[in-house]
């Protein structure tokens, strides 16, 4: 009879992430971070010494876009990125892909 054991959460996560590249893993991390934010919330990210402000802003913007949210960045100095998740037209309504116009006006 074989010996059996249940895998830990870390082992399961390692198995699920095995075929993913580093970009996909970073994308999922930022999606998980923004998953806690709703329309009207404010947040800030403290940068690690090896992170660039522009890179973090772009990753947050991409994650917000994937969730159908807008994101506004507030001016800060130092290693801090502060942001706001506004609604459509500054209201508390969420933005969706169907409410956002793309392209030029007809």
One digit per residue, pLDDT tens: the chain, 106 residues? 788 899 999 998 888 877 778 898 899 999 999 998 999 999 999 999 999 999 999 999 999 999 999 999 999 988 999 999 997 655 555 545 545 566 677 6
d(CA 39, CA 17): 30
60 in Cβ contact with 45 (< 8 Å): yes
Residue 104 structure tokens: 């030029």
d(CA 31, CA 63): 5
Residue 65: C-alpha distances to residues 7, 15, 43, 95 (Å): 34, 28, 16, 9
pTM: 0.68
Which residues of 1-105 form beta strands (DSSP E)?
42-46, 72-74, 80-84
Q: Which residues pair with 80 in a beta bridge?
A: 46
């Amino acid at each position: 009879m074989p010996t059996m054991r249940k895998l830990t959460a870390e082992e399961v996560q390692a198995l699920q992430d095995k075929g993913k590249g580093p970009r996909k893993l970073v994308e999922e991390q930022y999606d998980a971070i923004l998953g806690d934010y709703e329309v009207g919330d404010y947040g800030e990210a403290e940068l690690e010494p090896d992170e660039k402000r522009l890179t973090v802003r772009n990753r947050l913007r991409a994650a917000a876009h994937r969730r159908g949210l807008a994101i506004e960045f507030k001016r800060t100095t130092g290693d801090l990125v502060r942001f706001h998740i506004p609604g459509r037209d500054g209201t508390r309504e969420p933005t969706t892909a169907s409410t956002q116009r793309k392209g030029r006006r007809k």
